Amino acid sequence: MVGAGWSCGAALEVVGARGGGRRAKMGEQREAGGGCGGGQRSELPKEVSLIKASPENIRMTIDSSSVSGKTVCVTGAGGFIASWLVKLLLQKGYTVIGTVRNPDDAKNSHLKELEGAKERLVLCKADLLDYESLLKAIWGCDGVFHTASPVTDDPEQMVEPAINGTKYIINAAAAAGVRRVVFTSTVGAIYMDPNRSPDVIVDESYWSDLEFCKNTKNWYCYAKTVAEKAAWEMARERGVNLVVVNPVLVLGPLLQPTVNASIVHIQKYLTGSTKTYANSIQAYVHVKDVALAHLLVYETPSASGRYLCAESVLHRGDVVEILAKFFPEYPIPTKCKDEVKPRVKPYKFSNKKVKNLGLELTPVNQCLYETVKSLQEKGHLPLPSN
């Protein structure tokens, strides 16, 4: 059997052979794992134009036995969650079309080293605000995992890409006739509500208060909430099978070479850059569990709606206490920045829905430990001197 996917140059490309057979390609052949961004590009022949042809006509040009149920697209493939998702998908035998801004960028090189990447991974150059680039990446895929999103509280960089990019993905998925779209949202689209009682058990039925997000200038939560609502509305209009994963703050080992925002949250307590911890709380989950949740909701036919993915809620004081026990050699803060107000209490949440899929969540202590060990191994945190 031969895996195949659309290149972002709009040419059909062989990305690996698994059964000794070989299928003809359209356009220029490129090395598997090398991506769609390099090499000479070729345009789609007019008879299979992505703009004019129907999904049915396009699929007639593809060996359906090698694509149906096996080829998926992961947007923002080089990201923290996405990298783990690509890793798991490749391990399961999927052919993965991963979209990135630049396939030749060194920050995406870790993807090409994953097991199965040489045979079944294609990196495509695509942009969240370029509909055609997204459509070309998705075309011919059975499913889409939309993980790509800015992570910033700069409204100009956050709002438009998150919202319009998600709309483009749903439209492209509808045009391509994919089986299911899994959208990576956030707990930030669920729990941001100052009027919620502390006794309430937060679950998938809750939505963040958009006015509160705007008033507090939390543009990340604002954009992700609007983006998720837009995704649900558009999915209903276009007949797209959509499932959403809402992870809390994600920790665990890095696959990518750079440090992402959620890991900085822990790193700062070990470098001496912060002398106190905040009187605040945070929910945590392991990155591999989040990736598994995406895979489970994709592969479980009965999966529907939203899935809150969280293991524990800790006060920052609990976090630094755990870190100090594991890594006493680092200058971990011991004093709270706000010692006047009462200690903030963790909110209650339900992760029953995602657990019912069979997901076993990694304890938060292990998440913290593995995060720090990964920072050491990647050279982002100096090893303690003996």
Q: Which residues are catalytic?
A: 224
Element (H, E) at 257: none
Residue 117: phi, psi to the nearest 5? -65, -40
Element (H, E) at 284: strand 281-286
Nearest-Å Rg of the Cα atoms of the chain is 22
Cα separation, 30 vs 40, whole angstroms: 9
Q: Is 99 left (phi over 0), alpha (psi -120 to 50) or beta?
A: beta
Cα separation, 174 vs 233, whole angstroms: 13
Give percent helix, percent strand, percent coil of the chain, each to the nearest 5: 35, 20, 45
**Distances from the Cα of 299 to the Cα of 69, 249, 322, angstroms:** 10, 24, 35
Instruction: Choose among 249, 353, 235, 230: nearest CA to 297.
Output: 353
**DSSP assignments along 63-130, one per residue:** -HHHHTTTEEEEETTTSHHHHHHHHHHHHTT-EEEEEES-TTSGGGHHHHTSTTHHHHEEEEE--TT-
Cα separation, 303 vs 179, whole angstroms: 13
Cα separation, 168 vs 173, whole angstroms: 8
DSSP-derived letter for residue 329 is T
Cα separation, 224 vs 368, whole angstroms: 26
**Distances from the Cα of 373 to the Cα of 145, 270, 364, angstroms:** 28, 12, 14
